[in-house]
Structure 1
Amino acid sequence: MKKLMMTATAAVLALSAGTASAADKTLTISVYAFAQDAFKEIVYDPFEEICDCDIVVETGNSVERLAKMEANKQSPVVDMAVMSMADALSAARADLIADIDYAKLSNYDKLYDIAKDPNGDGKSVGYTFYATSIAYRSDKVSIDSWEDLFSDELAGRVAFPNVTTNQGPPSLYMLGKAMGNDNYDLKAPIDAVAEHRDDFVTFYVRSSQLAQLMQQEEIWAAPIGRFAWGRFTDMGFPIAWATPKEGQTGGLNVMVMTKDSGNKDLATQFMDFWLSTDVQTKLAEALVDSPANKEVVVSDAVANNLTYGAETADNLHLLPSDVLLDNRDMWLEQWNEKVGQ
C-alpha cells in the first residue's frame, strides 16, 4: 500500500510538472484585429512550430487593450503587445511594460533607425511604420507643398483629418512647417484651418469616407496614411501621392512586453521572429505591414502600396510620443473653439 501511495504521488507530481511546462510554453499576445488570417499564416503558426508552444491571440483597439493591461497590472494576462508609439509611452508611464534586452534581438540591427528604441526608454521596438501625405487628383491640381491645401484650385474640393484622428495632429504639424511655424502647440495651423474652414468639404474621422468622396469627385485632395492608399488606386482617374517639399509625416507601431508576465524569454524570441527579414518580407508582400526591417526587398508593385525604403524612413517627420500625449487636450480645445465640428 505504501509503495502504491508513493507511485500515485509521483504520478501527481509528474502531471503537475507537465502542466506547468505547458503553461510556460503558452504566449499570450495583444494585437490589432485587422489581417489576423494573414498573421496566423505568416507569423503565429510558423512560430508555434519553431518554439513548440501555443500562441493565444487577443484583439481590440488600443484603448480597450491598454485598459485591460491596466486592470490586470498586478497579475498580467498578456505577455506581449503591439500598439502605437504614443500608446507604448503611455503604457510605460503607467509602469505596465518591461525593458527590452535589445542584445537578445538578433534582427535589431537590421531595423531602420526610427524603429530602434523609438521612445528612447528601452521599452519598445518598431515593427512597422507608415507615411502620411496628400492623395490628390493629378489631372486637376498639382501639389508641391502642404500649404497647397489652401490653394484657390482646391477650395471646396479638399478634406482634412479631424484633430481627434491619428492623421490629424501630424498633418497639422506639417501644415505648420509649410507656413514657417513648426511649434508643437499647433496654434498657427489650427488658426489657418479655421480661416479656411468653408473651403473644406469635411473634417474626416475615417479614411473610408475619403475613398467615397474621391470616387464621387466631391474632393480632389486629402491627407491620408499610406495604409489607406490602396483604396484610391483603382478609381478610373489619376490619383497621385504627393511628396511635398517639407517632407512627409506618419506613424510607427511598436512591440512591447508586459511587465512581470513571467514569459519574457518566449516573448523576446517571438518579437525577434516577427522582425526577421523573412517574416517582414512575407507581411510586406501580403500588403499587411510596411517593413521596419531594412533588408526587405519587394517589387515596385508591392512597394507602391507600402511605406517602403531607406529614403522614406529617413525623411519621415514623426511627432514625438510625449508631444502627442501631453498636448492632445490642448489641441482638441483649440480645434473645438476655432474650427468646430
Structure 2
Amino acid sequence: MKKLALLLTVVLTFGTLLAACGSGKEEGSSKPTELVISTWGFAEDAMRKNVYEPFEKEYNVKIVTEIGNNTDRLNKVRQGSSKVDLIYLSDYYALQGIEEGLFEKIDHKNIPNIENLYEIAKAPLGKEYGPAHTVAQLGLVVNGDQVKTPVESWSDLWKAEFKNKLALPNITITTGPMLMDIAAKHAGNQEMNTDAAFKALKEINPGVVKYYSKSADLVNMFAQGEVVVAPMQDTFYGSVSEAVPSAKYITPKEGAYALLNTVNVVKGSKNKELAEKFINWHLSQQVQQANAEQRVDSPTNKLVKLTDEQAKGMTYGAEVVEKLKLLDLRKVNQEMSGWIDRWNREME
C-alpha cells in the first residue's frame, strides 16, 4: 500500500509539473499581433516612445511602420502591394482613398476619444471614416528685417514690392489647392473659380522666385535671402525662425487654412478592431499631451492643456482651431487633374 501511495504521489506530482510547464510555455510563447502602420516617419523616435511602445505593451502588439510620402504610400495601397492595417494621410489624399473604396468604415464604439476632439477634427471626411489626429495651418511667413510695410492679407502677396522675392506652393502639393482658393478670392470670386484663380496667378507669376514642392526648399530660400514672404505651414516655421530670427508668422485677416492629417483603417485589414483601438490610443489626452509638449504634433484633443510657451508656434486652442478655413476637398479632387494640366501649360 505504501508503495502504491508513493507511486500515485509521484505520478500526480509529475502530472502537475507537466501541466505547469505546458501552461507557462503557452503564456510565454503568446506571439504579439503585428500591426502595420503606413506613415510619414516624421519624429519617429518621439512617436515610438509616446505612441507605439506603450500601445505594444498594453495590447501585446508588434508595430511595423511603412514610411513614405502621401502619394507613394497611397499608391501602394491602391496596388495592393503592402499589408497595411492603418494609414496616416493628409485629408486631401485620404479623401481619394475613401472615394476609391480603399478604407474600412470605422466603428465609433472602439474610438470613444473622438468625442474629445475639436469639431473640425471629428469627421473631416465623413462620420464613417477616420478622424484627424493633428491639425496645422497655412499662414504667411515674412522676413521682418526686410519687410517693412504691414502684411495683413493674402492679397498682400500681389504687392509690387514682393516681386522676385516671393515663393508659392506648387499646385501638386497639399497646399496647392489653397493657393487656388487664395488667388480666386484675390480676383473677387468666392467660389474657387478656376478662371478667376488662373487670372490672378498669371498676374503674380513673373515675380515668383520658385513654386516650392518641399518645405525644406522654402526654409533654405528664406535662410539664403532669396525670398522675404511666402505661404507656409506653421509646422515648418520653427526651422525658418532658427535660420532667420526676424521671421514672423502671420495669420491673414481672412483666416488661415486648416491642414488636417487623418488616420484610416485599410480595406481588408485582418486587425480592424485592434486598428481602431490604436486610433483611440493616439487620440487620447495622454498621448496627445506628450506629442504636443515635445512639438511632434499640434493636438486635436481639446482636453490637452499647454502653457503659453508650449503653445508657441503650435495650432492650439479652440479660438485658433475652430476659426481655420476648410476647402471643399471633393471639388478639389474633381478639378485637380484639370488644374495641373492648365498649370503646366500656363504657369511653368
Shorter chain as normaliser: what TM range? 0.7 to 0.9
| Equivalent residue number for residue 82 of structure 1 | 88
1:94 and 1:242 map into 2 onto residues whose CA distance is: 37
Deviation track 1:130-176 (CA, whole Å, cap 9, x = no partner) reads: 10011012343321110100112222221111111222211231232
| 1:208 maps to 2:239 | no
Query: 1:131 and 1:314 mapped to 2: Cα distance?
Result: 11
Question: 1:69-218 counterparts in 2 under 5 A?
Answer: 69-72=77-80, 77-120=83-126, 122-139=128-145, 140-218=148-226
Report the AA paired with residue 62 of structure 1: N
> Is the aligned partner of 1:316 residue 2:324?
yes
Matched, 1:220 2:203: no
Give deviations 1:35-66, integer Å, cap 9, x for gaps.
Answer: 11111111000111111222122222222222
1:117 is displaced (CA, Å) by: 1.4
Give the Cα–Cα distance (whole angstroms) in 1 for the partners of residues 273 and 341 of structure 2. 44
Check conservation: 2:167, 2:229, Cα contact below 8 A. yes
| Number of corresponding residues | 324
> Equivalents in 2 of 1:236, 1:207: separation in Å?
15
Matches within 5 A, 1:11-22: none
- What letter matches 2:276 in structure 1? T
Q: Give the whole-Å Cα distance in 2 for the aligned partners of 1:26 and 1:193.
A: 48
Alignment-derived partner of residue 61 in structure 2: 53
- Structure 2 unaligned regions, length at least 5: 1-18
Deviation of the 1:236 alpha carbon: 4.8
1:255 is matched with which residue?
263
**Is the 2:183–2:200 Cα contact (8 Å) retained in structure 1?**
no
Rg bigger for which structure? 2
The amino acid across from 1:109 in the alignment is E
Please report the RMSD computed on the Cα atoms of aligned residues, expressed in angstroms. 2.4
- Aligned-residue offset at 1:23: 6.2
4+ residue stretches of structure 1 with deviation over 4 A? 21-24
Q: 1:338 to 1:192 in 2, by over 3 A?
A: same
Shift, 1:256, TM fit: 0.5
Q: CA deviation at 1:22?
A: 5.0
TM-score normalised per structure 2: 0.86
Amino acid of the structure 1 residue aligned with 2:236: A
Which moves more between the two structures, 174-183 or 151-160? 174-183
Q: TM (normalized to structure 1)? A: 0.88
Work out whether residues 162 and 205 of structure 1, in 8 Å CA contact, stay in contact via their aligned partners in 2.
yes
The separation in 2 between residues aligned to 1:320 and 1:237, in whole angstroms, is 36
Q: Percent identity?
A: 33
How far has the Cα of 1:313 moved from its partner?
1.3
CA distance in 2, matches of 1:175, 1:37: 39
1:292 aligned residue: 300
CA distance in 1, matches of 2:32, 2:78: 23
